[in-house]
Structure 1
Amino acid sequence: MFAGLLATTVLLAACGEEEAKEEEVKVEQAEETAEETTEETTETEAASEATTEVAVQEEITAYQDIKAELEKMKEDQEVNWETVSTLYTDHLQAKINEVDGELAQGIEAFIEAGKSGDVDPNVARQQVDKLTQSYFYKKQKDLQKGTLALMEEGKMEEANSSFEEIKVLASEVFIPTATKRDEYYELTGENSMVENINNGLAVQEEALAAENAEDFAVYLQITDKSIYKSYYLASKSYGEKIGAGIEEGASLEELTEKQAEAYGFLQAIKGSLSGADEEAVTKLNDLFSLTQKADEIDAEEVESLFVQAMKAKSSGYYENTIKVLEEGNLVEAKVDAMEGNMFLSMLAVDLTKANGEEATTALLEKGEAFFEAVASENVEEAKKLKEEIVTEISNL
């Protein structure tokens, strides 16, 4: 377009200086308009990229601001519940409702209860914090499924953007939670949840770069279930802390705050755990809800219910692996085998307590051998190892 206008200017120069000047002005105006259009386009593209990059960051920042406001009460400072409510309404409410309306209702109820004073402020604080963390876990699961679907459709640019959101969530929400659980249960090296989350993300990213959706589907289980494990052990640990607190004569307020934390973390995984043993998980949910007095909770019962639910979850995946492998669905078999192993690792704390570290390590290695047998489509070897693993789990 510019070349044509310039050519016209040259041709019209012979017709007189005035006409030439007029054309020069037109050219300049056209160039300015084009430059403005280019700048606007660049700004639009940059804004679009920024939106992709910060979509989840806006939610995380709002959560962190809410948490910072609520934690003022730890220093005996006044909490502005209106600020908490505004941050939640403006940045989180719609997003959480999209993922889980029940979680949204819970958060809103405890913001109002904290504002009115109907609930102990520390209990309200813990519920708002932990229920929001449960939302982030569920959002991560949706992002994982979405990323995989985009890969399968060949939409790699969008898949990469989606995966970046998962990485930001891991860095700013999941790793800090997993770090606390690693420290509490003294988990290091290959048992560390932080290490497994980072390893999972690394191999997922490799599969993403190679545009290998099948490997991505298997590896996402390492990331997802390591985060799941941190929420599971978080809820379980607060059950243990309640038991210890009761023995030490802690106040009902202190125990109720721990109960609120156990309840909040459980909400992230309640649906999944219920699919294997609904009765055990319903009982856990009832024990941790505020309708149950915290000083009447039996810590041994809590531990038993968690083990019961996790045994059912792990065994179910091992059984289903053999079923789909025999049907010839290798990808699904590998995914189920990996999930079975990840749930087995969640029982490692209890297995070590019951059978010792050496026996637990041997069982986890048997799980790895099971995955290798499945991946090589060695059905008979996989069946043999499955029987041995499930039998040991059932004896816990």
Structure 2
Amino acid sequence: MSSPVRRSAGIAPLWAAPARLASCLSSLAGAALLASCSHVPLEPTVPAPTPAPAHPAVQPAPAGTLERSHARWVPASFGELPGWSQDRALELWPALQRGCQTPLSSWARVCAGVRQTQPADDAAARAWLEQHLKVYRVESPEGDPTGLVTGYFEPLVAASRRPSATQRVPLYQAPPDLAWRKPYWTRQQIETQPAAQTALKGREIAWVEDPLDALVLQIQGSGRLQMTEADGRQRLVRLAFAGHNGQPYKSVGRWLIDQGELKPGEASWPGIKDWARRNPRRVQEMLWQNPRYVFFREEPLPDPSLGPKGAQAVPLTPGRSVAVDPASVPYGTPVWLDTTEPLSTRPLQRLVMAQDTGSAITGAVRVDYFWGWGDEAETQAGRMKQPLRMWVLWPRS
């Protein structure tokens, strides 16, 4: 997933526009809740599904079904998992071991075995999982086994510790008065009103060239900066979510649709970026439609091979970590995905770990797939919106 630092080519005129954001949190209570803000799906969120009937037909639950608040788990078998024997199951092991750092009580025995085991190959990993876990098919409470998979990623952006002629879009720390001034200044006020600018003066973490770079950092809730320090040294650092201004979130993708600028099928992240490149004089107008503003904190990045911490409070693993609705699937649960690659019919069938969540990730068969960081991850995440079936693996009694 590695790639050069992304610089948005061809949009130099956009530096004067304010960066626009999304945040997945409406409150800041507790470390676990802060961790859950590691991402939200790429802007815009998936269009709302057709409303269900007032009284949907409920399929009878087979014997042995486990009921959860947003889902039901129907007993299944490893033989039912499409592509099970072809998955490189050994790749899951680091993510599984990290998930076992904070296990549920029902996973204590299995996680003890995970920590003491290092399978020799994919076949050995599958055999160990088959011996210790059992399979359930995830369905809606009404018995529907189909759902949706989208993707997210960790942006990688070039930044500078000081503003320059080209890098003039600031990324801010949370201001001291954020906790008591509620709601805080809107996005437009932060960009235009002297009082708001005075309150944030000196709180700049870094400066980036393109407001769309700032936009995607705030949409995803975290990111990597290839930082040019004041002495010219280069350093890779991570930005993490540190709060927002308490203003309502408004989708710029929805605004573009309502303005007739994009069709619903075009309002993906690549579509929004393309519109911005073609309409540089209207970018500021677009960005100010959303009054919410996100603040960051800087963190060290000791191991660049690991992603940001998800809602389970463990680092995410590219291609092996997903966000789920925890009312459907508890954190730390292995999940089997049956879907396709973005814009493709090639199957994407693999075992992943439920280690994150997001504000738009709700429902039984609903997953956001963590692609990693860099250009390839951004491209894949921005295009991902496919039908999904999923199963969970759970400790045997």
Which interval holds the TM-score relative to the shorter structure?
Answer: under 0.3
Q: Which has the higher relative contact order, 1 or 2, with Cα contacts under 8 A spaced 6 or more apart?
A: 2
Higher helix fraction (1 or 2): 1
TM-score by length of 1: 0.22
TM-score by length of 2: 0.22
